[in-house]
Amino acid sequence: MLDAFRRSVSSWMTKILFVILILSFSIWGVADHITRQPSERPAITVGDVTISAKIVQEEFNRDVTRLRTILDKLSFTAEDAHRLGFMQRTINRLAVTAALDVAARAYHLRAPDELLAKSISRNTNFHDATGNFNRTLFQHTVAAQGQSEEVYLRDLRQRLLRVQLSDPLIHAVTVPETSIEHFKQHRYERRVAEIVTLPIVAVPVFPPPDSVTLEAFYKDNAATFTAPEYRTISAILLTRATVAPLVSIADDVVQRAYDESRPTLRIPETRTVEHVLLASREQAESMRRLLIKGLSLTQAADALAHHVTPLGRLNRAEMEKIEPALAEAVFTKAPLDTVLGPIKSAFGWHLMRVTATFPAGIASLALVRDQIQEDLIAEKTGDVVYDLSGKVEDAINGGASLEEAAQHVGLSVSVFSVDKSGLGRDGRIVPPLPSMREFLAVAFTTKEGSQSIMTESDSGFFVLRVDRVLPAMLLPMKDISQELIDKWAMTQSRNTARQKAENVEKLLRGGLSLQEAALDYSSSFHVSKPLLRTDGDEQLPPTFITRLFRLAVGETLVDENAESFFVGRLQSIRAPVLDASTLVDMKREMTKQYTEDILAQFAAAVGREFNATINSRALEVP
């Protein structure tokens, strides 16, 4: 399961990312994006179903927007989301959806009109004040979400078919009691440690070494004082980013794309919202009392050392993907400028205020022109990259130099001076260096003065020439004399501190108290609070708590970070003590995890059955 990821859930940001991860795995609500029509360069193919790279990118952008909203970090970028693996999760979600849709048809599942009608009539979002289904409200709600009634019904039918596939799996999940007990012990067992801290700076300063000692240290650590091999590389880079300036889209093409897309460019009703997130209902009620006294939301938040966060401009569907309870309050109960709450969500307790509303409509060309143009350029650049790679290769094979071949296709040659890790001589990453995985590997296996062949990578093509090789070189002692002395002194101090820590450990193993063991070593000591496996402590090395949970009572360990050595002795192990509600929540979480794992395995099996493929070239990121 996702144990490694779950063990890291110790901060608000990580908890929020985990909730979004679960949301992004959801297999519902993307039927609009799937087509059984042939598609040029489809990104995902399952049977006769295809999903374009454009749709994948749009879904990924929505995930990034939701993350940015929840985290209240405008600086959170698509690159950040890529590093966290959210692009792959978006791809997986869409592939799962397509696989289940294909399976539903292959297994001859049906969702008759009667089932659709029953599902719609039971949806409380379409009920009026009397609790009955209201067709007008249904039509307005669907329109506000930017959908036509036809598209909504088609999407709902697909969701119901997926439910038929997944429900038998979900309802059959039962977590064994032994697994629950093991998980409880693993997560909620606490350990108390006696800890001695020995700062390295407390070690007496060593006098400078003599020349013989320093020379011996220099030779013994030659690798530390060796400058790496550097290469000067000239390259033609063919990626979406480098060829984009060569691509232009005529105004009539933009207009035609807009006209064709106009039925899908409905803008649902949107609202701008600000909110305060609090850890407990008691805090929320305290703030609510200040509001009743006449303070504004900002004033009340300031008075209790909290801050107001704008959620931006969202429609109901976007807010429901963040948190359904918030969407329900904002879009059905919220008069303008009225503070709502406290409202409970997965993140805590909220007080919210709607600051503006914007009615539904059709986006004007002026509003979406830039996005349409970007999309058209993105679609076109993939083909341009491929075409130009052939032209560059033909020019080089015909005797053209790298510079001549680049000029022939309207590009320039990029020049880099780097080591094998992509660092410049100043030790910093060279900013324009391409992120292609193969680039440095090819650059450092091509001989000086030679040119590589045209190479395809995960984000395009490149051809390079190695202009100069500066071999790895042991730096002369005279050029690094002060650095050499500093590193020698640092090494002596660390070795001395390590020896002291090992001596303290022997004393603790022998049964001495913390105070007795640490008495002669210029160290501090304390008894930790009861620690969970998932606890973090900025003062301790990251591995200290992990290692502590491998010990028996009375056993010891030595660990270190850049500043100190730490000696620990396990004092006691405390069995989990859980109240009824925590135990219920834990069982619910385990059932959810088991369910997700089984669904993932089922989706993978369906994907194999119907030949699911992902076209990595169509998903290249510029």
Read off the pLDDT of each residue in 51-55 and give the average, rounded to a whole number: 85
Per-residue pLDDT at 38 exceeds 50: no
Q: Are 516 and 508 in contact (CB under 8 A)?
A: no
By C-alpha distance, which of 84, 91, 26, 8 is closest to 55?
Answer: 91
Read off the pLDDT of each residue in 150-172 and give the average, rounded to a whole number: 85
Q: Which residue has the higher pLDDT, 79 or 279?
A: 279
Task: Grade residue 85 by pLDDT with cuts at 50, 70 and 90.
Answer: confident
Place of tokens 């022939």: 408
Q: Which residue has the higher pLDDT, 539 or 465?
A: 465
Task: Grade residue 557 by pLDDT with cuts at 50, 70 and 90.
Answer: very high
Provide the pLDDT for residue 611: 86
Q: Choose the CATH number for 3-171+597-619 among 1.10.10, 3.40.50, 1.10.4030, 1.10.540.
A: 1.10.4030
Residue 52 β-bridge partners = 42
Task: Grade residue 620 by pLDDT with cuts at 50, 70 and 90.
Answer: low
Query: Tell me: the pLDDT tens digits for 365-383?
Result: 888 888 888 888 877 887 8
Q: Residue 464: phi, psi to the nearest 5?
A: -135, 165
Q: Residue 587: phi, psi to the nearest 5?
A: -65, -40
Read off the pLDDT of each residue in 584-607 and give the average, rounded to a whole number: 85
Mean pLDDT of the chain: 83
Provide the pLDDT for residue 622: 43
Per-residue pLDDT at 404 exceeds 50: yes
Provide the pLDDT for residue 195: 93
Provide the pLDDT for residue 189: 94
List the 414-418 sheet strands across, edge first.
414-418, 230-239, 460-470, 455-457
Provide the pLDDT for residue 144: 65
Domains 230-248+373-471 and 269-359 share a fold: yes
Amino acid at 352: M
Provide the pLDDT for residue 128: 75
Read off the pLDDT of each residue in 93-119 and give the average, rounded to a whole number: 88
Q: Residue 539: phi, psi to the nearest 5?
A: -80, -15
Read off the pLDDT of each residue in 163-190 and give the average, rounded to a whole number: 87
Q: Which residue has the higher pLDDT, 13 or 579?
A: 579
Read off the pLDDT of each residue in 397-415 and give the average, rounded to a whole number: 93
CATH architecture of 230-248+373-471: Roll (3.10)
Provide the pLDDT for residue 139: 81
Q: Which residue has the higher pLDDT, 547 or 133?
A: 547
Provide the pLDDT for residue 25: 37
Per-residue pLDDT at 13 exceeds 60: no
Read off the pLDDT of each residue in 211-224 and give the average, rounded to a whole number: 93
Q: What percent of the chain has pLDDT over 90?
A: 31
List C-alpha distances in Å: 412 to 243, 297, 382, 389, 453: 10, 55, 19, 14, 18
Per-residue pLDDT at 462 exceeds 70: yes
Task: Grade residue 4 by pLDDT with cuts at 50, 70 and 90.
Answer: very low
Per-residue pLDDT at 496 exceeds 70: yes
By C-alpha distance, which of 271, 266, 267, 283 is closest to 326?
Answer: 271
Q: Are 308 and 301 in contact (CB under 8 A)?
A: yes
Q: What percent of the chain has pLDDT over 70?
A: 89
Per-residue pLDDT at 453 exceeds 90: yes
Amino acid at 617: R
Query: Tell me: the pLDDT tens digits for 506-553?
Result: 999 988 888 888 877 777 889 999 999 988 888 899 899 999 999 999
Q: Are 56 and 91 in contact (CB under 8 A)?
A: yes
Q: How far apart are CA 25 and CA 608, in angstroms?
A: 19
Q: Are 416 and 225 in contact (CB under 8 A)?
A: no
Q: How far apart are CA 102 and CA 108, in angstroms?
A: 10
Provide the pLDDT for residue 19: 41
Provide the pLDDT for residue 31: 42
Provide the pLDDT for residue 450: 94
Read off the pLDDT of each residue in 145-172 and give the average, rounded to a whole number: 82
Per-residue pLDDT at 173 exceeds 50: yes
Q: Is 194 exposed, middle or buried (0-12, 13-18, 19+ CB in 10 A)?
A: buried
Q: Which residue has the higher pLDDT, 265 or 602?
A: 602
Structure tokens at 216: 């011996």
Sorted by where each begins, the domain ranges of the chain are: 3-171+597-619, 190-225+478-574, 230-248+373-471, 269-359
Long-range CB contacts for residues 356-360, cutoff 8 Å, separation at least 24:
356/271, 356/272, 356/313, 357/269, 357/270, 357/271, 358/267, 358/269, 358/270, 358/271, 358/313, 359/269, 360/143, 360/144, 360/146, 360/266, 360/267, 360/268, 360/269
Q: How far apart are CA 141 and CA 125, in angstroms?
A: 8
Q: Are 78 and 581 in contact (CB under 8 A)?
A: no
CATH architecture of 269-359: Roll (3.10)
Q: How far apart are CA 243 and CA 410, in angstroms?
A: 9
Q: Are 349 and 279 in contact (CB under 8 A)?
A: yes
By C-alpha distance, which of 303, 310, 271, 273 is closest to 288?
Answer: 303
Distance of CA 350 to the CA centre of its chain: 25
Other CB atoms within 10 Å distance of the CB of residue 131 = 7
Query: Tell me: the pLDDT tens digits for 278-323?
Result: 888 888 889 888 888 888 888 888 888 888 888 778 888 778 777 7
Per-residue pLDDT at 246 exceeds 60: yes
Provide the pLDDT for residue 230: 95
Residues 6+ apart with CB under 8 A from 497: 198, 199, 200, 202, 203, 564, 565
By C-alpha distance, which of 90, 145, 16, 7 is closest to 549?
Answer: 7
Amino acid at 489: A
Provide the pLDDT for residue 71: 60
Place of tokens 């006209």: 259
Q: Which residue has the higher pLDDT, 95 or 14?
A: 95
Q: How far apart are CA 446 and CA 234, in angstroms?
A: 12
The single-letter DSSP state of residue 127 is: B
Q: How far apart are CA 575 and CA 189, in angstroms?
A: 5
Q: How far apart are CA 278 and CA 270, in angstroms?
A: 25
SS3 state at 567: strand
